[in-house]
């Protein structure tokens, strides 16, 4: 093991986890080799490298002395990994995720949000992960489809800093409204939600509790208009009103604000909110930030291991989803520690390349000065295409 690097990138990365690889839990009473903590470390590394199967994880551990030394394992079989993920208590990865989310909140406590007037946002949405119908029959949503859902709360601490701080995994037939009670809680942020969360009673309860929210309404949602507020005649805001949700106008109902606007393509949006001190333009801008949660879902599905699940048992899938979020939070923590402007995806690619190399080599690469291209000078025409090979045929288009 002389080639083991004490201060490698993988060691620095895993040292950010609030657990120790050598810790043992009550679940390890009969375990001699692959303990719960070692399993957490292995599957976080698998998420980081997007290893999609047990056999791939097994091959990487067998081929890397650094990984073996870190885990105190010479080898591990795919069947052992499968049993480990299935028996891993979901409370542990959920606790690790919550600890990392709290660290992210402390790190961004002084951030001003998306603007001084709006502050921080908590964007709530859900994303589905499809399962094979036969193997995932416990999560069947229709005659032809099975799926699970990741109900997520994403904090926007600044225009370029977002991180998840709560997640509820469910089968695909659990509606968004049912999970809102776990994700929308009193806080100093503004909640942003799409049409799947429009529950009249919850809206009134949130308003009563002082929870600020901006939610898109379905077209069929009915409101009782109490007062029309003035709007700019030629602006994108077409309506600003005081309303009560539902048909009946009653004194015990909370008064909310309904804003209608059209985007750049002329599409109409109806937003209901409990915020009165901001302009209608600010409310519309808040809702446009909801797109950030869609980008985050896209990021973890493309660059981590969430689409191809390792197991089709509920507990194993819940564990895999939490481990993916843990990895995303760790990458953002590394990004903050390096004070780099590179995106999390750019940094993750570099970390994969330098995984078993010294941490200092990654720092040098991240902070390496890069020459900016001057680009094409103004007025320069397009260079004629040329073929520098005798293989193949090149025929310029007549157009």
* pLDDT at 297 (0 to 100): 96
Is the pLDDT reported for residue 390 higher than 90? Answer: no
State the residue range of the domain holding 85. Answer: 9-91+308-363
Is the pLDDT reported for residue 348 higher than 50? Answer: yes
Q: Are residues 273 and 358 in the same domain?
A: no
Q: What global pTM score does this model have?
A: 0.90
Residues 250-263 have a mean pLDDT of: 87
Is 375 inside a domain boundary?
A: no
Q: Are residues 121 and 78 in the same domain?
A: no
The three-state secondary structure class of 99 is helix
pLDDT band at 11 (very low <50, low <70, confident <90, very high): very high
* pLDDT at 387 (0 to 100): 65
Residues 382-388 have a mean pLDDT of: 69
pLDDT tens-digit series, residues 154-199: 999 999 999 999 999 999 999 999 999 999 999 999 999 999 898 8
* pLDDT at 2 (0 to 100): 44
Is 352 inside a domain boundary?
A: yes
Is the pLDDT reported for residue 381 higher than 80? Answer: no
* pLDDT at 30 (0 to 100): 67
Is 40 inside a domain boundary?
A: yes
Is the pLDDT reported for residue 1 higher than 50? Answer: no
Q: Cα angle vertex 177, ends 89, 202, to 5°?
A: 120
Q: Which has the minimum average pLDDT: 145-154, 286-295, 363-372?
A: 363-372
pLDDT tens-digit series, residues 100-135: 999 999 999 999 999 999 999 999 999 999 999 988
Q: Are residues 143 and 271 in the same domain?
A: yes
Distance CA 234, CA 217 (A): 23
Q: What phi, psi does 8 have (nearest 5°)? A: -75, 170
* pLDDT at 314 (0 to 100): 93
Q: Are residues 281 and 194 in the same domain?
A: yes
Residues 292-308 have a mean pLDDT of: 93
pLDDT band at 333 (very low <50, low <70, confident <90, very high): very high
Q: Are residues 79 and 172 in the same domain?
A: no
Q: Are residues 149 and 283 in the same domain?
A: yes
Q: Are residues 50 and 154 in the same domain?
A: no
Q: Are residues 239 and 155 in the same domain?
A: yes
Query: 248, 275, 296 — which closes off a domain?
Result: 296
Q: Are residues 193 and 136 in the same domain?
A: yes
Closest by CA to 351, choosing from 11, 10, 42, is 10
Is 376 inside a domain boundary?
A: no
* pLDDT at 322 (0 to 100): 97
What is the number of structural domains in the chain?
A: 2
Q: Are residues 226 and 131 in the same domain?
A: yes
Q: What is the CATH number of the domain that holds 266?
A: 3.90.350.10
Query: 296, 324, 348 — which closes off a domain?
Result: 296
Q: Which residue has the higher pLDDT, 272 or 25?
A: 272
Q: Are residues 181 and 278 in the same domain?
A: yes
Residues 6-30 have a mean pLDDT of: 84
Distance CA 126, CA 153 (A): 9
Distance CA 148, CA 153 (A): 17
Query: 296, 319, 345 — which closes off a domain?
Result: 296
Q: Are residues 224 and 332 in the same domain?
A: no
Is 259 inside a domain boundary?
A: yes
Is 321 inside a domain boundary?
A: yes
Is 301 inside a domain boundary?
A: no
State the residue for tokens 């009969």: 30
Residues 6+ apart with CB under 8 A from 146: 130, 131, 132, 133, 136, 137, 138, 139, 140, 172
pLDDT tens-digit series, residues 46-100: 999 999 899 999 999 999 999 999 988 888 899 999 999 999 999 999 999 999 9
pLDDT band at 346 (very low <50, low <70, confident <90, very high): very high
H/E element, 192: strand 190-193
The sign of the CA dihedral 91, 95, 96, 97 is positive
Work out the percent of the chain whose per-residue pLDDT is above 90: 69
Is 82 inside a domain boundary?
A: yes
Neighbours of 310 (CB within 10 A): 23
Give 72-81's long-range contacts (Cβ < 8 A, gap of 24+): 72/21, 72/22, 72/38, 73/33, 73/34, 73/38, 76/33, 76/34, 76/42, 78/53, 78/54, 79/54, 80/33, 80/34, 81/34, 81/39, 81/42, 81/54, 81/57, 81/310
- As a whole number of Å, the end-to-end CA separation of the chain is 63
Is the pLDDT reported for residue 24 higher than 50? Answer: yes
């Amino acid at each position: 093991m002389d080639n083991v690097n004490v201060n490698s990138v993988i060691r620095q990365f895993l040292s950010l986890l609030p657990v120790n690889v050598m810790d043992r839990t009550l679940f390890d009473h009969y375990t001699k080799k692959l303990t719960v903590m070692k399993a957490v470390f292995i599957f976080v590394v698998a998420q980081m490298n997007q290893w999609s199967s047990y056999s791939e994880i097994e091959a990487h551990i067998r081929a890397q002395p650094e990984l073996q030394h870190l885990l105190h394992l010479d080898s591990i079989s795919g069947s052992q990994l499968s049993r480990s993920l299935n028996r891993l208590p979901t409370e542990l990865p959920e606790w690790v995720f919550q600890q990392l989310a709290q660290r992210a909140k402390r790190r961004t406590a002084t951030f001003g949000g998306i603007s001084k007037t709006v502050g921080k946002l908590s964007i709530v949405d859900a994303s589905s992960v499809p399962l094979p119908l036969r193997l995932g029959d416990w999560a069947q949503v229709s005659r032809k489809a099975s799926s699970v859902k990741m109900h997520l709360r994403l904090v926007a601490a600044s225009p370029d800093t977002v991180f998840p701080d709560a997640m509820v995994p469910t089968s695909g037939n659990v509606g968004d409204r049912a999970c809102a009670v776990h994700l929308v809680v009193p806080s100093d942020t503004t909640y942003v939600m799409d049409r799947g969360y429009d529950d009249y009673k919850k809206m009134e309860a949130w308003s009563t509790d002082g929870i600020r929210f901006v939610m898109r309404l379905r077209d069929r949602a009915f409101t009782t208009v109490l007062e029309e507020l003035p709007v700019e005649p030629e602006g994108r805001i077409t309506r600003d009103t005081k309303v009560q949700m539902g048909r009946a106008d009653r004194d015990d109902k909370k008064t909310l604000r309904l804003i209608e606007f059209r985007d750049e393509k002329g599409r109409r949006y109806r937003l209901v909110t409990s915020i009165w001190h901001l302009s209608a333009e600010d409310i519309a801008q808040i809702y446009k930030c909801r797109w950030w949660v869609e980008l985050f879902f896209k990021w973890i599905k493309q660059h981590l291991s969430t689409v191809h699940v390792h197991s089709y048992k509920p507990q194993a899938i819940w564990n895999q989803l939490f481990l993916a979020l843990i990895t995303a939070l760790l990458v953002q923590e590394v990004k903050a520690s390096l004070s780099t402007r590179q995106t999390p995806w750019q940094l993750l690619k570099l970390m994969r390349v330098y995984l078993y190399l010294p941490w200092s080599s990654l720092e040098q690469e991240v902070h390496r000065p890069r020459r900016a291209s001057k680009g094409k000078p103004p007025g320069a025409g397009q260079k004629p295409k040329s073929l520098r090979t005798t293989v193949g045929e090149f025929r310029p288009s007549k157009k």
